[in-house]
Structure 1
Amino acid sequence: MTASQTSGSSVTIDTVVADRAFLECPRWRDGRVWVSDLYRHEVISIGTTGDVRVEATLDGDEPSGLGWLPDGRLLIVSMERGLLLRREDDGTLVTHADLSSTATGKLNDMVVAEDGTAYIGSFGFDFRGSSSIEPANLLCVAADGTFGIATGGLRFPNGMVITPGGVLVVAESMGNKLTGFDIEPSGELTNRRTWAAFGPELPTDSVKAAMSAAAVAPDGICLDTDGAVWVADALHRSVIRVEEGGAITDTVEFPTAVFACMLGGEDGHTLYACAAPSSSEKARRNTRDASLLATQVTRAHGGRP
């Protein structure tokens, strides 16, 4: 299949894996692309030859953000139970941190710093039943499992990246923007600012009202070597490349909705996108029409994850 770019030229889109429920949080590591399938309750990895390996199964819960400790053990966000899980060397899953007391709603995406510090977002409200958008906490979990609230007042914090210069950039899906923080040596977040705004502040009386007014709904994100952020726009079937300050330099349009992205591949130039007809939990839970797509771009992967 093909997708279009803003320049008018088409790009080739490859299907990496299909017949999935709903994919999120793609990561590139050790020659494989890793991804969470929320409603099959699995973390899978796919090799360059297309082989699929189930890396972990979360009985009764949905995996989301993925990352690794410095010693190579996998961290998995367990969304509904409010846990950060750790996969031990023998494959067993144990609780790295129980965040249920500090999370605001379901846990969401995650980025793990080089020292093993994990930053994890939460919804802030009941996405399916709430009448208004409520502010959410961003949590910080040290490598030893101790945790606290890094900051609050975010509107549905979602994908995150850490730049080589130590800046955390957070996608606020209900905020029409990317928000930046400086990461102090202690892991504390300081100097909060708008990293890139896509438009004015959104209404908070309902998700429908916010999404109707949003120019972009930034979902999963990744970073390239030039310091720009690639953003999966959950509203417009596209992944956009955004520079600090808000300039959009590239747009890749897909034939279906995309909800997360990651740069990877052996040379870092493969743009992976988690695709599905919609993000509706009711629709996706019992269907198998989600996929992981890939295309080639000119900038390579940078930063974390």
Structure 2
Amino acid sequence: MGVVAQVTPPVAEHGEGPVWCPADQRLRWVDMLVGDILALDPVTGVITRRHVAPVVAAVRPRSGGGLVAAVERGFALLTDDAVELLPENWSDPSIRMNDGACDPLGRFYCGSMAYDAAPGRAALHRLGPGGAVETVLTGLTVSNGLAWTRDGSTAWYVDSATHRIDTFAFDPATGDLHDRRPVVAVPPQVGTPDGLCLDVEGGVWVALWDGGAVHRYAPDGRLTAVVELPVRRPTACAFGGPDHADLYITTSRHGLPADDRSPAGALFRIRPEVPGFPDHTFAG
């Protein structure tokens, strides 16, 4: 496995949700609590920043061009020069969106959390290509990483409060998630599981908030790799680059002491031995 490289300065206060966008060969991620989407051109190193809303939690490319995003209490559709905010999913200002992904059928999911992380107040919501929103899971606490295996048959999922990584069977005929099963238990002393992604062998890469590392687990739950970072709060990871061989890792400064001198908030990159594969796009 390669060496961890710092790709950007600490450009985000709370960097989250990286995704590779093949259409323009850029990595995008969010500075969540200021409501900005950042984009990196890995060839030139140029970073651009676009304000979307007071909070932007997750972003994915749309198959017809543009982006879909989760904002504080709902979803938004973005073109190059416009932001269309869809109707809010709820009115309670104490709950916000947190992390999301698209499924093999082109639907965009995003899970929520209470700002104070109160147990059981979160849910997983799904935006269909036609604009309909459904609530898929309830009784969650901090809905976080979500990703599908390459064959689409399994979804990996994190509710951070459980300190687990679970799988769901995914039925492409009905589009339902079912048979939730705990696969990985993350000891609290090594950090809290946050955002995740998968490689071509079915290995799951998960960022460990307050753990200063990204772990890779085999499909059977065995720990197979540890990537240590010079920051306490990695938040999420995603494969990118033309061959999806680079693992990008977002990080956060949120909640750190004012005298923290680490490069928290920077974007990092490493090239593992096993590559990833393209994320699903939103069909709407």
Same fold (TM > 0.5): yes
Output the aligned Cα RMSD. 2.6
User: C-alpha distance in 2, partners of 1:155/1:233?
Assistant: 17
TM-score computed with the length of structure 2 as normaliser: 0.85
Which residue in 1 is equivalent to 2:77? 86
Partner amino acid for 1:186?
A: T
Partner amino acid for 2:29?
A: V
Counterpart selection for 1:67 from 60, 69, 77 = 60
Which residue in 1 is equivalent to 2:5? 14
User: C-alpha distance in 2, partners of 1:197/1:304?
Assistant: 25
Partner amino acid for 2:115?
A: D
Structure 1 residues 71, 115: CA separation in 2 closer, same or farther (over 3 Å shift)? farther
Counterpart selection for 1:26 from 14, 18, 21 = 18
Report whether the alignment pairs 1:143 with 2:129. yes
User: C-alpha distance in 2, partners of 1:39/1:105?
Assistant: 13
Structure 1 residues 76, 95: CA separation in 2 closer, same or farther (over 3 Å shift)? same
Report whether the alignment pairs 1:108 with 2:137. no
Counterpart selection for 2:243 from 258, 267, 279 = 267
Which residue in 2 is equivalent to 1:202? none
Which residue in 1 is equivalent to 2:196? 221
Specify every segment of 5 or more residues in structure 2 that has no aligned partner in the other structure, as ranges.
none
Number of residue pairs the alignment of both structures matches? 270
Counterpart selection for 2:268 from 293, 297, 301 = 293
Counterpart selection for 2:179 from 191, 201, 220 = 191
Structure 1 residues 118, 102: CA separation in 2 closer, same or farther (over 3 Å shift)? farther
Which residue in 2 is equivalent to 1:231? 206
Contact 1:198 1:246 in 2 (8 A): no
Tell me the SS of whatever aligns to 1:26: strand
Contact 1:34 1:44 in 2 (8 A): yes
User: C-alpha distance in 1, partners of 2:190/2:231?
Assistant: 18
Which residue in 2 is equivalent to 1:155? 141
Report whether the alignment pairs 1:180 with 2:174. no
Which residue in 1 is equivalent to 2:36? 42
Contact 2:21 2:61 in 1 (8 A): no
Contact 2:120 2:138 in 1 (8 A): no
Q: Percent identity?
A: 23
TM-score computed with the length of structure 1 as normaliser: 0.80
Shift in Å at residue 47 of structure 1? 0.7
Shift in Å at residue 70 of structure 1? 2.5
